[in-house]
Amino acid sequence: MNTSLIKNKKVAIIGGGPVGLTTARILQINGAEVTVYERDLNAQARTSGGTLDIHADSGQKAIKKADLMDAFYQYARPTGEKMADMHGNITSEEMPTEENGYQRPEIDRNDLRKIMLENLEENTVVWDSQLTDIQKIDEQYYLEFKNGNKTIADFVIVANGGRSNARKFVTDKEPQLSGTYIIQGEIENPDRDYPEFKPKYGDGNVMAMGEKKMFYTHTLRDGSVHFGVSFKADENWVLNNEIDFEDNAAVIAFLLKKFENWNEDYKKFFVASTDFTGLPLRLFSLEETWKKHSNITLVGDAAHVMPPFAGEGVNMGLMDAYQLTENLTNGQFETLQDAIDDYEQKMFGYALEAQRTTYQMEELLHSDVTTEKILNSRGGV
Ligand SMILES: Cc1cc2nc3c(=O)[nH]c(=O)nc-3n(C[C@H](O)[C@H](O)[C@H](O)COP(=O)(O)OP(=O)(O)OC[C@H]3O[C@@H](n4cnc5c(N)ncnc54)[C@H](O)[C@@H]3O)c2cc1C
């Protein structure tokens, strides 16, 4: 181990999502002085969005490098998937086997955050720290936060997600709407609120397509079921749809209309759901490269946010955590900048490939698709 590139350097990570926290943990066990600045008020803030599938050949490599596979196995679940059509017919069923169960297991977002937080040194994460500005003076970065606090860092890792306000220090480009919209919700206690659901659709994932729309569910560790529906929506609709997501009845009415030709199973699902959110999906394309900059880089969604249709977003972010920390600690680079440049070059390779696959899946899943075609292409969400 050679940690000379990060020795005696103050490393600031902006954002305590899965990618920022994993990067922090790997750097910390390699001797770095690292601080994560996170906007959430405290560790109890509930991250939204259900579960993530963490792939053996990408995301899990970072968890392993963080020396946290045992903790990961405590929470990650091999998960089956049923595919259905809009008429409520189950068209295929894939159950995990002993051989493939941990190739793409699901883990609740909150569990992944918990594992990372429990394994970082005390006070590594500074909560209630929403970054508002960065100034570069000589070779150091001066960071300012909404709560009035200020700090200085030698190296900044921007990990504050798809809507990052710090990305502009590395590139002038902005993410674009991908053209697809997701509405999410959950049934907290399906056995009580929709008891017919699990006996038919099981307690794994469900995916159904029809009329250029998709419906999917994930079951969380506590038995609650989170769902999403996705459909094409242009910018005009995104800006003017006027759905009030605080008003459950209004969202349910919208969904019942939008899915009026679908089977009653799905409609009952909407009626039993609460906690709705609407999400215009964004893509920060890597087709163009970034401008030159020093001692600051982007990881995770800040670097390459993409829609979730190939299940690659967090996996590519965790690959960033893996690759960046590998370069910073393997002793093969003369300077911090060389290590960052090599990381970015590699990241543009794997993450751009994932974005291209995602784009194909997004088009396929919102076309007049057949289940057979989907099975041959394997989507995420
Ligand atoms: C509906 C949906 C389903 C998905 N499913 C999958 C899936 O199955 N598999 C998969 O691989 N990916 C999936 N993804 C993508 C995945 O969620 C993201 O790729 C992943 O969360 C990115 O992690 P991150 O740490 O880079 O960013 P985030 O998870 O967005 O975390 C960023 C953190 O930064 C904090 N922050 C933001 N702004 C500031 C600021 N100014 N100052 C300080 N802190 C700040 C936020 O509070 C947050 O904690 C899905 C995405 C969506 C929307």
> In terms of Cα–Cα distance, which of 131, 164, 167 is closest to 146?
131
The encoded tokens of residue 108 equal 């609740």
pLDDT value for 294: 85
Residue with tokens 């050949």: 57
Which residues surround ligand 1 with Cβ inside 6 Å? 14-20, 37-40, 49, 52-53, 129-131, 159-161, 165, 182, 228, 279, 300-301, 308, 311-315, 317, 380-381
- Examine the domain organization and report whether 111 and 136 are in the same domain: yes
What is the residue range of 192's domain?
Answer: 177-282+368-377
For a substitution probing ligand 1, which of 150, 301, 319 has the most ligand atoms within 8 Å of its CB?
301
User: Count of domains in the chain?
Assistant: 2
Within a domain: 88: no
53 appears as a binding residue in the annotation: yes
Tell me the CB-side half-sphere exposure of residue 170, using CA atoms within 13 A: 25
pLDDT mean values, one per 10 residues, the chain (381 residues): 78 98 97 97 80 97 98 95 94 90 94 97 98 93 97 97 94 94 96 96 92 95 96 95 95 98 97 96 93 89 97 97 97 94 96 97 87 60 63
The encoded tokens of residue 314 equal 């967090």
CB atoms within 10 A of CB 172: 9
- Examine the domain organization and report whether 209 and 69 are in the same domain: no
pLDDT value for 190: 96
Q: What is the CATH number of the domain that holds 146?
A: 3.50.50.60
Closest C-alpha residue for ligand 1 atom 29: 17
Q: Which of helix, strand or coil describes residue 339? A: helix
What's the sign of the alpha-carbon dihedral 184, 188, 194, 199? Answer: positive
- Examine the domain organization and report whether 295 and 347 are in the same domain: yes
pLDDT value for 219: 95
> In terms of Cα–Cα distance, which of 162, 128, 189 is closest to 305?
162
Q: Write down how long the chain is.
A: 381
- Examine the domain organization and report whether 30 and 167 are in the same domain: yes
Query: Ligand 1 mean position to 19 CA, how many Å?
Result: 8
> In terms of Cα–Cα distance, which of 366, 344, 364, 345 is closest to 356?
364
Pairing state between β 131-137 and 140-145:
antiparallel
- Contact 269/197 with Cβ under 8 angstroms? yes
Query: Ligand 1 mean position to 264 CA, how many Å?
Result: 33
Closest C-alpha residue for ligand 1 atom 2: 308
> In terms of Cα–Cα distance, which of 362, 363, 366, 86 is closest to 212?
366
pLDDT value for 98: 86
- Examine the domain organization and report whether 278 and 357 are in the same domain: no
pLDDT value for 290: 85
The encoded tokens of residue 148 equal 């009035």
For a substitution probing ligand 1, which of 35, 41, 52 has the most ligand atoms within 8 Å of its CB?
52
- Examine the domain organization and report whether 261 and 328 are in the same domain: no
pLDDT value for 283: 97
Within a domain: 1: no
- Examine the domain organization and report whether 48 and 197 are in the same domain: no
- Examine the domain organization and report whether 301 and 207 are in the same domain: no
Within a domain: 92: no
- Contact 279/180 with Cβ under 8 angstroms? no
Within a domain: 85: no
Within a domain: 83: no
- Examine the domain organization and report whether 347 and 222 are in the same domain: no
> In terms of Cα–Cα distance, which of 26, 335, 24 is closest to 157?
24
- Examine the domain organization and report whether 15 and 149 are in the same domain: yes
46 appears as a binding residue in the annotation: yes
pLDDT value for 371: 61
Calpha distance 249→251 (Å, rounded) = 6
- Examine the domain organization and report whether 156 and 65 are in the same domain: yes
Q: What is the CATH number of the domain that holds 209?
A: 3.30.9.30
Within a domain: 41: yes
138 appears as a binding residue in the annotation: no
Within a domain: 30: yes
109 appears as a binding residue in the annotation: yes
Query: Ligand 1 mean position to 5 CA, how many Å?
Result: 28
Query: Ligand 1 mean position to 192 CA, how many Å?
Result: 31
Query: Ligand 1 mean position to 1 CA, how many Å?
Result: 30
- Examine the domain organization and report whether 299 and 353 are in the same domain: yes
**Of all atoms in ligand 1, which is nearest to the CA of residue 130?**
42
pTM of structure: 0.95
Phi, psi (rounded to 5 degrees) for 359 = -60, -45
Within a domain: 96: no
